[in-house]
Amino acid sequence: MHLGAAWYPEHWNEERWETDVRLMKEAGMTVCRIGEFAWSTMEPYEGGYHFEWLEKAVTLLNRYGLEVVLGTPTAAPPAWLTHRYRDTLAVDEHGRTAVHGNRCHTAANSQTYLKFCRKITGEMAKRFGKDARVIGWQIDNEYNRVDYSENSRRQFQHWLKDQYTSLDALNSHWSTAYWSQTYSNWDEIPLPVGAHNPGLMLAFKRFVTHTWREFQKVQIDEIRHHSLPSQWITHNFMGWFDAFDHYELTADLDFATWDWYVGTGHHDFTKTGAAHDLTRGFKRKNFWIMETQPGWVNWSGVNNTLNKGEASAMAWHAVAHGADAILYWQWRSAQGGQEQLHGSLIGADGNPRPFYEEVKVLGENFAKVSEVIANTEPKNEIAFLYSYDARWSINGQKHHKDFNSIDHLMRYYSPLAERNISVDILSPLANLSGYKIVVLPALVILPDVTVENLTRFVESGGTLVITVRTGMKDTHNSLFDTLQPGKLRELAGAEVEEYYALLDPAPVHFRGNEQSIEEKIIEGKSEMWAEALRPLSDSTQVLAHFGESNGWLDGKPAITLNPVGENGGKVLMIGAVLDSKAQSFLIERILREGGIEPIYTEGKTGVEVAKRVGKDGKTVTLVINHTREERSLDLKELAGQDLLSGKSLSGVISLLPYGVRVLI
């Protein structure tokens, strides 16, 4: 396990460097990221490469026992480059060319820019690729820009030709006869600005993904050619950011990292855990937090600081979800630049800020558990299938202004987190063996391979949960010629008779049974969206009905359950977006059907209980109080040694505000 920070030695006189590195060491840091914004220092004029200063920084860090992550500087090119080669600058959707002075202002598919990116990365790799003090590489920084230049349009048209082969196929899949959109030549196809043909909009998102993957691969190839096999390559993603398909981009990386910032407000572990699980799911491997805030940020509406102790609890929370490193951004406040007021461990005056002491304690505690936690990871029995295609499709046609794909996913995630039940968030193409429950949160685009995977999963005894909007469209963003959930209808034993965006909530009546609450009827409501279900099989059970609503929904099935095969497989189809109380009741039913029993429900009071498991079966349990108040927990079978205090713990224990126990 690593603790570290992003450091920018190019900002400071070399006489100061050793003081900074010594303070890192005293804080218990073991790794440092450098270089990712230093292109103008590495190459102050075209072809003039200067890495001596970087070599000195690596040497100094190594002398104090810190390993190095090198960032390629391609998110911030030097002024001579963008001034001399104007085609490297990105163009926005309104035709405006970016100007120098920010970051990420270049066009990722500019051949000129790719040439310079290849050169600087190659020169860095020649210098440091065989240097064992460098443990890994970060490509660029927070990919985000979408280019709308004529060059991008031409490349998009060529990409479409490769994907569709013929215009007849493209026109057919996109239904371009609608509004006379039919294309007779590839160069007629525009870049989508604003609302456009759904097929075109989805294809452009995939093209953007392709563009960034090619941009990334240029640098990966240079590094791989010159580097030690032990040096890994990654990129720092941004959680739920959706400009491209992260599953595609991470395919070429060794593991994923992400930059975790709270912004305004405070950490809520029942929500932020999902972004950790998402990042872990990109590669189905542990991940790193490559950046997180040391107190506050500078870009939110109110840049409040985290409470004392809160960042420490956040760090342990990330570890609980599979993080193997926590790096703070940044080490020291720059005296100039756009992020002057961002939180840091060292102030512009060169002295440690109050937050430094919290990190120092965290470093001491990480050192106590690092060896034991190494080579362990979360092991979960529930998977959510998350699709960028589906999210893009819904974003383009919300049908209800408040329907948000991530909010919908969180309606299922957060109640599980409150029960301290962890999940994996995976691609719709993932292997599902080993899971008990799989949830499809608004998986509007449903590929055939996903249908095949889900069918095998259910027939093998798994419990599948199909939520609203699932199975409406094919992989070209075209509506199926069958009702929802498309090719899952037979498996589900039900279909969607009709869907409705709601002005007002629709009542939902649950009927209990002997396993739940003795025939008592539970009242709930469906918010913003409802789907009237129609059972297709005598075996399909109706678990809930809609009450009196818009006339069309009245009395219609809202939730169904279909048993499948001889292995105990089940499919629940959910036609409602339930209020929190009713959703909690539904989650309990889903867990019961899937054979998962909540043991530690203290998540509702802010206490998280999570496990990491090694290949040898070794289990490490983290108990984290995410509140400013003292909490208690009955350890039950978790009784064991606390690695932080060295004490053996059993029975009911107390947890200080933002307190942590690490048990074996």
Instruction: List residues bridging with 72 in a β-sheet.
Output: none
The answer for residues whose C-beta is within 8 angstroms of residue 514's C-beta and 6 or more apart is none
Quickly tell me which residue has 């005056």 as its tokens: 349
Integer Cα distance of 147 and 153 in angstroms: 9
Strand-pair partners of 327: 4
DSSP string, 378-416: ---SEEEE--HHHHHHHHH--SSTT--HHHHHHHHHHHH
Supply the residues annotated as catalytic: 142, 291
First to last CA, the chain: 17
Compute the chain's Rg from CA coordinates: 26
Residue 350, phi-psi category: left (phi > 0), alpha (psi -120 to 50), beta (remainder): left
Collect all residues with Cβ–Cβ distance below 8 Å to 626 and sequence separation of at least 6.
267, 268, 269, 313, 317, 606, 607, 608, 658
Classify the C-alpha dihedral 278-281-282-288 as positive or negative: positive
- Pick from 81, 57, 66, 206: nearest CA to 146: 206
Sheet with 660-663: list strands edge to edge: 376-377, 607-614, 619-625, 660-663
Under 8 Å between Cβ of 213 and 248: yes
Cα–Cα distance for residue pair 330/437, rounded to 1 Å: 40
375 vs 581: CA distance, rounded Å: 39
Q: What is residue 473's DSSP assignment?
A: B
